[in-house]
Amino acid sequence: MCSMNKANILVAPRELKDQVERASRVLGCEASVADRLAEDVTFCEINYGQGISSWLQIATLNSIALGEVLRSSLRLRLPTGAKSLDVHFDPPVLFVLLARTLHNQESCGITWSCDTEMTYGSSPIVSVHLRSDTSPSPTTSKKTIDALSTGLKVSLHEWEQLNEIASQFLMSEEILDAS
């Protein structure tokens, strides 16, 4: 699915996920990390915006810094029996790496708030407050339903940058033949 105007292009969420996954593999991420990162970026682009631009920022990190950023984003867990928890990040973590995990926790009855009022994918997050709540939130948003049915409007320039990186991902014939 591809449709364009001057500055935007309409893409299917699956198309975005696939391109981010390929581009992440080009950066040296293992398959499971690239898949998680692609899910995070796609979720963020749909629900908060700036998912692709955030990924492009992350793509400029060296492999050691990238590993640190990805590991720090995995710390968002409310320990069993705990009523609340403050998670601090030093250096700050881009919201794109936290949004999907926080949304998933909402479906388990955990509410959250960030130190940043306006949370877009590129928002640097210094801390997140998690709190146990009794009422789980719905898991599928109207934004997700709309994106799945009509596509997702993204920046043409960012889409072209992502495609340029993703195009470097090659699979050997041996791998393709085995699948």
Hey, where are the domains in the chain?
2-139+151-178
Region label for 70, one of left (φ > 0), alpha (ψ between -120 and 50) or beta (otherwise): alpha
Distance CA 2, CA 22 (A): 18
Q: Can you give the length of the chain in residues? A: 179
Buried b (16+ CB within 10 A) or exposed e, 56-93: bebbeeeeeebeebbebbeebebeeeeeebebebeebb
Nearest-CA neighbor of 113 among 88, 125, 130, 89?
Answer: 130
- Are 45 and 154 in contact by the 8 Å Cβ rule? The answer is yes
Residue 16's pLDDT is 97
What are the backbone dihedrals phi and psi of residue 76, each rounded to the nearest 5 degrees, phi first? -85, 70
Q: What is the pLDDT of residue 117?
A: 73
Q: Pairing relation of β-strands 124-132 and 2-4? A: unpaired
Using DSSP, state whether 63 is helix, strand or coil.
Answer: helix
Mean pLDDT by 10 residues, the chain (179 residues): 69 96 91 93 94 93 79 79 89 91 86 83 92 72 87 95 92 60
Reported as a single tens digit per residue, the pLDDT across 118-139 is 678 999 999 999 998 867 666 6
Q: What is the pLDDT of residue 87?
A: 92
**Residues 139-165 as b or e (16 or more Cβ within 10 Å = b):** eeeeebeebeeebbbbbeebbebbeeb
